[in-house]
Amino acid sequence: MVDPLPRFPDGFLFGCSTASYQIEGAVHADGRGPSIWDTFSHTDGRTRDGDTGDVACDHYHRYPEDVALLADLGVGAYRFSIAWPRVQPTGSGGPNRAGLDFYDRLVDALLERGITPVPTLFHWDLPQTLEDKGGWLNRDTASYFADYTSHVVTRLGDRVRRWITLNEPIVHMAQGYAYGTHAPGRTLMLDALPVAHHQLLGHGLAARALRAAGAAEVMITNNCTPVRPDGDDPTPAAIYDAFHNRLFNDPVLLGTYPSFLGDALGDLVRDGDLDIIRTPLDALGINYYNPTKVGAPADEGPLPFETRPIEGYPTTAFGWPVVPAGLTELLTGLKETYGSALPPIYITENGCSTEPGVDDQFRVDYLDAHLRAVHDAITAGVDVRGYFVWSLLDNFEWAEGFSQRFGLVHVDFKTLARTPRDSYRWLQSALRPR
């Protein structure tokens, strides 16, 4: 028996997060085009055991059951992502009505159960046709993204009031374009930097399209990590902080790039771009998993920093250290850094992978400790408005395939049966009105 959670402010939003390619399956249904993740996961050696999102949780067909799970859990909101290749199978042109119909049904099902839909417009499944034109290395992708956004908000904007443009542009740039561990699998290292600017430009253009359509709340979701210097020289940690955190927070909140990264971007940043990128946000989405320890690279590598394991903490099934205090530190640090330029914050992802079974006391302890860490930040004066668990369901964990399980709900990937874990029951009772 754990102590009851501290009381959160009135209106504090509890939710769960998922992403299209990780749960939907149905990759050929209703005119969906291929995305970079279809290509990548079907390429030999890219994902663990060759797993793909072809079926995943088959959420595309089983969404009523998943909405019922959300309703029984008692959360007030659901963050999901919209698959661009369902809306525009080749990334541009008129919308595919049948693809939008799916999100229309999903939104209605959520609203019927009193759950606020919080869609993310891009969670990494870029239409393959756009990748063939350079993906996010191509500036035009930003404008295509804004067009796609307009199609979605035109269809759903009468019922959806809160929107997230991009999910974790740092992770998409780093893993997708610098290290090649995610789709599209490019290994450009520092030459991946334009991907940051073009995603941010796409974010700004999409934010304007959403506003023009009357959206009530627009945000971006950034993955942030408190950086811990290792060794005598603090410079590598400062550089890492600039790449991982400030490259994406500074331009959207302040309209500037960290100076050396702005220099590196050079002419790519055209007049007016930063004004677009700084289009005012109603809130900032933060995804937190763990702090990062950074030191100087051992030998002349392509990067000016090296990340190192953090020792002395329990680790998740993924091997990630569990450091709840890092979340408080991150939130109070954001307030210190950005002051009045910091809008209200939603934690749009936080969670852990565990052993497959439904007995997941590890996740209960993880969520309990991180919710307390969020509460500590609120007590310290940070305006945090909500917390979304990653994830509702076990799902396709990108390069790790189905081997890493993040769900409050266990999924048997042979039968697709859903079974709530202990953590689901725990959260359900924590959310019950007292």
Question: Catalytic amino acids?
Answer: 168, 349
Q: Are 339 and 236 in contact (CB under 8 A)?
A: no
User: Is residue 148 a contact point for ligand BGC (CB under 6 A)?
Assistant: no
Smaller CB separation from ligand BGC, 97 or 270: 270
∠ at Cα 11 (164, 111), nearest 5°?
60
Using the contact rule CB under 6 A, the part of the chain among 184-192, 234-242, 282-290, 370-378 near ligand BGC is 282-290
Q: Please identify, using beta-carbon distances, which residue of 6 and 297 lies nearer to ligand BGC.
A: 297
Contacts to ligand BGC from residues 390-419, by CB under 6 A: 390, 397
| Closer residue to ligand BGC (CB): 104 or 306 | 306
Q: Is residue 120 classed as helix, strand or coil in its secondary structure? A: strand
Q: Which residues pair with 219 in a beta bridge?
A: 164, 283
* Site membership for ligand BGC, residue 96 (CB under 6 A): no
Q: Does 19 bind ligand BGC (CB under 6 A)?
A: yes
Three-state SS for 325?
helix
If binding is defined by CB under 6 A, does position 223 make contact with ligand BGC?
Answer: yes
376 part of the interface to ligand BGC, by CB under 6 A: no
**With respect to ligand BGC, which residue has the nearer C-beta, 55 or 171?**
171
Query: Residue 355, interface with ligand BGC (CB under 6 A)?
Result: no
294 binding ligand BGC? (CB under 6 A): no
Binding string, 298-337, against ligand BGC, x = CB under 6 A? ----------------------x-----------------
| Sequence-distant contacts of 59-62: CB under 8 A, at least 24 apart | 59/18, 59/23, 59/24, 59/25, 59/393, 60/24, 60/25, 60/26, 60/29, 60/102, 61/25, 61/26, 62/416, 62/418
Q: How far is the CB of 141 from ligand BGC (least distance, A)?
A: 9
Which residue's CB is nearer to ligand BGC, number 22 or number 150? 22
Name residues whose C-beta falls within 8 Å of residue 36's C-beta, 6 or more positions apart in sequence: 124, 125, 126, 127, 128, 131, 135, 176, 183, 184
Q: Is 143 in the site for ligand BGC (CB under 6 A)?
A: yes
By CB under 6 A, the residues from 162 to 191 that bind ligand BGC are 167-168, 171
Q: What share of the chain is helix, strand, coil (3-state, %, to 5)?
A: 45, 15, 40
Tokens of 238: 């400062």
Q: How far is Cα 93 from Cα 109, in angstroms, rounded to an integer?
A: 28
Q: What is the DSSP string of 374-397?
A: HHHHHHTT--EEEEEEE-SB----
Closest CB 112 distance from ligand BGC, rounded Å: 27
Q: By CB under 6 A, name the one of 61, 139, 211, 335 that touches ligand BGC.
A: 139
* Closest alpha carbon to 75 in 336, 386, 414: 386
Q: Which long-range contacts (CB under 8 A, 24 or more apart) does 110-115 make?
A: 110/67, 110/70, 110/78, 111/159, 113/67, 113/68, 113/70, 113/71, 114/71, 114/76, 115/67, 115/70, 115/71, 115/75, 115/76, 115/77, 115/78
Interface with ligand BGC in residues 73-92 (CB under 6 A) = none
> Quick check: 290 binds ligand BGC (CB under 6 A)?
yes
> What gap in Å lies between CA 384 and CA 331, rounded to an integer?
9
Q: Which segment (210-218, 231-239, 286-294, 332-340) binds ligand BGC by CB under 6 A?
A: 286-294
Q: How far is the CB of 130 from ligand BGC (least distance, A)?
A: 13
x/- string (CB under 6 A) for ligand BGC, residues 230-269?
----------------------------------------
Min separation Cβ 117 and ligand BGC, Å = 18
Give the footprint of ligand BGC on this chain (CB under 6 A). Answer: 19, 22, 139-140, 142-143, 167-168, 171, 223, 225, 273, 287, 289-290, 320, 349, 390, 397
